[in-house]
Copies of this chain bind each other. A is one copy, B any other.
């Protein structure tokens, strides 16, 4: 396997991604809420990728990676494995290029997720998550069909696509040309964090970028401390399932080693509370994995006080029963809306 070092033109690839994506993605302007500022004691600007096409930032990396393929390769179609947002992102991106997409998904994936992928025109190859290896299945399919694989984070064009968010943040009128003090980004494999941090630091090298992980899946936190890639225990469970990658990415980790100021961790309970807060107080539907950053801001007011913090909300694909549970818990907790 090639070592795939950081391309010397990586920041240019992020700019190219942003250009490619401009006419494709939903513009997600920074949102500011007086009630959230008051609660945190500082200025909080939300980057709402829950409002993005197919409900998360994943369309960015997927579209950019497909755009970067030689046309002849692209025409044969693309393959990905994912049970979540990356599946929808790849399916939508392939549909926009009018090329076939095959998604390797667990046979017990929620109906709503399978249907969303099928509605976007992709083919699903099901596997048994207890006895089969999805990565091996996807790679065998890719060899057999001579189709390129679109990985969910360990791919420079995928990371560059997610990085377009960082360029958008820095240009947003809400910042009035002044860099924020810090940016919070959720972290599974680390592609979103690596892309955003690189993009933000191009124009504002002093901005602190913090990754946010579930406390039970803090592989990036421990890996940064150890200076090498460490794994999560195999049996790790969290409602933030999309952030349960086994280990930091091979490509993303060295970037995050250089770019991140630190890692904040969040409990499942805090993530659930943040989903309820976002829905009931801000009227935004955010999924658990997307709300860990908001939970980190709400839970670290010492770190956010008197600062400007950009909080990236990564997605909004949440089961309606879980959403209702989060809203009910929020309403039980607060006696009416405060603002």
Contact = CB atoms under 8 A, between A and B. Distances in A.
Interface of A: 24-27, 29, 31-35, 50-51, 53-55, 88, 92, 112, 114-120, 173-174, 279-280, 282-286, 316-317, 320, 323-324, 327-328, 331, 335-339
B327 A320 contact: yes
Contact residues of A: prevailing secondary structure: helix
A29 B339 CA distance: 19
Nearest to A27: B32
A114 B336 CA distance: 8
A282 B51 contact: yes
A335 B27 CA distance: 26
A328 B321 CA distance: 9
A279 B331 CA distance: 18
A279 B282 CA distance: 13
Contacts of A33: 26, 51, 53
State how many copies of this chain the complex holds.
2
A338 B54 CA distance: 8
A336 B31 contact: no
Contacts of A34: 24-26, 53
B27 A53 contact: no
A119 B29 contact: no
Given A33-B51, A316-B283, A336 B27 contact: no
Q: Which 10 A-B pairs have the closest CB atoms?
A: A115-B336, A283-B316, A116-B336, A119-B336, A283-B285, A29-B29, A116-B337, A320-B327, A324-B324, A50-B283
Contact of A338 (B27, B50, B120): B120
A166 to B, nearest CB: 19
A206 to B, nearest CB: 26
A54 B337 contact: yes
Contact of A31 (B51, B174, B335): B51
A336 B26 contact: no
Contact of A53 (B35, B280, B317, B336): B35
B284 A51 contact: yes
Contact of A51 (B92, B174, B283): B283
Contacts of A335: 115, 118-119
B284 A279 contact: no
Contacts of A54: 337, 339
A26 B53 CA distance: 24
A201 B338 CA distance: 35
Contacts of A338: 119-120
A320 B285 CA distance: 13
Contacts of A119: 335-338
Nearest to A114: B336
A31 B26 CA distance: 8
A55 B337 contact: yes
A124 B120 CA distance: 51
Contact of A320 (B25, B55, B173, B324): B324
Nearest to A337: B116
15 contacts: A26-B33, A27-B31, A27-B32, A29-B174, A34-B53, A51-B284, A54-B339, A55-B337, A117-B336, A119-B335, A119-B336, A120-B339, A283-B285, A285-B285, A320-B324
